[in-house]
Amino acid sequence: MSRRALSALAAVIVVGCSGGRDKTLADLQSARPEVRALAVKRLAEKFESEDVSLFSQAARDPVSIVRAEAMTALGKTQDPRVVDLLGEALADPDEQVQQAAAAALASFKTDKARSYLTLQYSRRGRTTRMAIVQALKGTNIPGAMASVVVAEAKAIWDRNMKVLNDGSLPERIGAAEELGRSGRPEAVNRLVPLLKDKHVGLAAAAARGLGIARDPRAAPAVTALLDENYPELREAACEALGRMGEPSALPKLLAVAQEKSPTSAFATRAILALPRSPEVDKALCALVISANDAEVLSAGRELRKRGGCPVEPILELLKNASTAKAGLLAIVALAPPGELVAKVAALATSSDDDTRRLAIEALAELGDPAGAAVVQKAWDAELKALEPRRVDWIPAELPTTWAPHFDPSKEASPDDPYAVVRARTNELFGRVQALDAQRAKEAGKTLLEAKPPREVLDDAAEEEVRVLATILRALGKLKVEGARVHAQAFTRETSPSLRGAAFGALAFLGDDARAGLFDTERSVQGTTAQALAESGPKGQLVVLQAISELVGDRTRLIDPLRGLVLPAEAAPKLEQLAKEGGSEAGAAALLLGEMGAKSSVPVLIALLDDQEAVARRDVLHALGRLGDARAADAIARDLYSDSAEVRSAAARALAQLKAPSQVEAIDALKGDYDLQVRNSATAALDALAPAAAPEGKR
């Protein structure tokens, strides 16, 4: 209720307390909803049997505060005729009405009232689900939450089975995945035969469902799908095997990852998801020297964390011109230790552009100062080779305003019938832009402004300057003498590749590269952010500051920060980013958790209190990581969430907080429909067992 409505209601209470029943009945017809709500409340306090019909009418009032008061009044009547009305109110659009109806039904100790509460549990949101559980506890039902959780699981299972048997094809596809979510053996038995269904979409959905179920019995049947010709089936099989973590599928997955087909990326992702073992590491090392570029980089990033790979197979690749590029890419991905500069430097003068570019990139990743001279020499040679194409470049920027007497909106011919329309359109857009600029200024945000392009007359395509861009970035990363001057000269180039490389070089050199984060080209933003993130804490704070100032999509800037432990000074910026919501809020919360920023716990708790907040699961993960007991009550409310992912995250977070007071609710989730929730609840109970045990039994 708004502050204004509360003030009006208080005034009505003061004035209306001296009135009698007749005045109260008259107030039920008032145009002011707060007056009607007070009238219902006063009638309920001195209830008479004929008032039931009045409360029933108020239960259908267009204003929610009146309906909520009517629910409470109907509960006080103890008239069995109103149970159906209260049951219907559990589906009211307003949650306060739903909660009032649940509390009212609790006063009816009948099977019908309990049935309504149980039925609506699976259909309502978090707050109402909590109210329903409390209502059932009020009716003295043992294991109230466990009973509604089991009832919900049964309803979901029955619905999915019915749809799978009798639904349309799109409905059956959805039901197949939903059955897999249950993780039940019966679901696996039902889904395995569907892998051979004539409808490819249904077979793929069955594979995904089996992956979610994570039953190793289904692994051989799913692995067989990798031999199919349908890309959708093969992709679904890769996804499922990755979820299962089944090591027996490794040889097949490796073969698919090495075939360099569109499915290879999914197979690589599945291998990365398998439990770590010597065999998996060996497979990843094989991928680094034999897979597509994207798969090589993905495997290499993971292998850097695992200690890398033997360097001898990579050196063998460098000896042959036909395999040299694969070897160089492996070095870029792994940056292995050892004396490699001399062998890589020999390829930096190759006549093949890709080989030359990869050699320079490899030298930059190796970070050996011995490669600086090679990079400088490559820079001079590349610049000289491109000079014939650059001599026609006109460095002057194009004008941004019309010269006198050339503005078509002002110098339009009086005979032009569209002149007035164009003038009004220009004026309208001008006002909109001015308003956007004013709003951004008030919010402390920065709007991206397209810089006037240079007038270019050249024959050099974007692909032809890729090598130069790679060398420019390497100059900065290796801190070659003169790199700063070269980089600054290229920050205004028309080519996004050159511009991004210039800002990246400045970031590695410790110079001001902030302008690159506000470039209108998203690729330039991403390249600059990546370099700043790699450059250290100072650069990471620059990226965060830019994120706080920009509006719109900022994923290109925040992605390079994922997985890093940021400095303590980053906490205020991350808190603000989390408060703003959007797709970046979850990443901000996780970064706060990785930092161990306990001072941010109140902010994260406040996010959980907002039922409209996005990234709730990530906020729960962060609070669990921080391990602050103050968050226990806020996290516990999400055990009642209507999202399985959120319930699972809440159980894991409470386990990390060692909050034994929530054991009953977590134990109830052992009967949840979703396998992930059940597993999280079981793990949480195991973790909480020592904390929940009596002192003498620990």
- pLDDT computed for residue 13 by the predictor: 42
- pLDDT computed for residue 493 by the predictor: 83
State whether 223 and 287 are in the same domain. yes
Handedness of CA 375, 381, 385, 390 (dihedral sign): positive
102 found inside a domain: yes
Task: Please give the DSSP secondary-structure letter assigned to residue 50.
Answer: T
pLDDT at 22 over 70: yes
Task: Please give the DSSP secondary-structure letter assigned to residue 491.
Answer: T
State whether 225 and 274 are in the same domain. yes
572 found inside a domain: no
The single-letter code of the amino acid at 285 is C
Residues 266 and 272: their CA atoms lie apart, in Å, by: 10
- The residue count of the chain comes to 698
State whether 190 and 321 are in the same domain. yes
Which of 334, 369, 386 is the C-terminal boundary of a domain?
Answer: 334
State whether 189 and 266 are in the same domain. yes
The alpha carbon of 368 is separated from its chain's Cα centroid by a whole number of angstroms, namely 37
Q: Taking residues 236-264, what's their average pLDDT?
A: 94
pLDDT (tens digit, 9 = 90+) per residue, 482-522? Answer: 999 999 989 988 889 999 999 999 999 999 999 999 998 99
150 found inside a domain: no
104 found inside a domain: yes
* Lowest-confidence pick of 9-13, 532-536, 692-696: 9-13
The model's confidence at residue 443, banded by pLDDT at 50, 70 and 90, is low
Residues 484 and 476: their CA atoms lie apart, in Å, by: 7
* Percent of the chain clearing pLDDT 90 (strictly above): 62
In 3-state terms the chain splits into helix, strand, coil percentages (rounded to 5) of 70, 0, 30
Which of 318, 334, 350 is the C-terminal boundary of a domain?
Answer: 334
- pLDDT computed for residue 430 by the predictor: 74
Q: What ranges make up the beta strands (E) of 228-301?
A: none
What is the domain extent for residue 229?
A: 168-334
Number of domains the chain contains: 2
- pLDDT computed for residue 450 by the predictor: 66
- pLDDT computed for residue 225 by the predictor: 95
* Lowest-confidence pick of 6-15, 249-258, 516-525: 6-15
* 8 A C-beta contact, residue 210 and residue 188: yes
Task: Name the 3-class secondary structure at 454.
Answer: strand
93 versus 139: which is more confidently predicted? 93
* 8 A C-beta contact, residue 487 and residue 509: yes
pLDDT at 11 over 50: no
324 found inside a domain: yes
pLDDT at 449 over 90: no
- pLDDT computed for residue 1 by the predictor: 43
- pLDDT computed for residue 418 by the predictor: 66
Most confident of 99-113, 206-220, 554-568: 206-220
Most confident of 31-35, 37-41, 133-137, 671-675: 671-675
455 versus 316: which is more confidently predicted? 316
pLDDT at 397 over 70: no
Question: Each residue of 366-387: b (16+ CB within 10 Å) or e?
Answer: bebeebbebbbebbeebeeebe
The single-letter code of the amino acid at 411 is E
State whether 96 and 196 are in the same domain. no
Residues 266 and 237: their CA atoms lie apart, in Å, by: 9
CATH number of the domain residue 189 falls in: 1.25.10.10
- pLDDT computed for residue 71 by the predictor: 93
State whether 128 and 182 are in the same domain. no
365 found inside a domain: no
The alpha carbon of 108 is separated from its chain's Cα centroid by a whole number of angstroms, namely 43
State whether 97 and 194 are in the same domain. no
345 found inside a domain: no
Which of 286, 314, 334 is the C-terminal boundary of a domain?
Answer: 334
pLDDT at 72 over 70: yes
The model's confidence at residue 427, banded by pLDDT at 50, 70 and 90, is confident
- pLDDT computed for residue 275 by the predictor: 93
State whether 220 and 127 are in the same domain. no
State whether 190 and 319 are in the same domain. yes
- pLDDT computed for residue 9 by the predictor: 43
132 found inside a domain: yes
Q: Name the residue among 374, 277, 291 with its Cα closest to residue 333.
A: 291
Give the predicted TM-score (pTM) of the model. Answer: 0.83
- pLDDT computed for residue 404 by the predictor: 67
State whether 319 and 284 are in the same domain. yes
State whether 215 and 132 are in the same domain. no
Q: What's the angle, vertex CA 258, arms to CA 254 and CA 262, rounded to 5? A: 105
* Lowest-confidence pick of 100-114, 376-390, 397-411, 550-564: 397-411
State whether 320 and 206 are in the same domain. yes
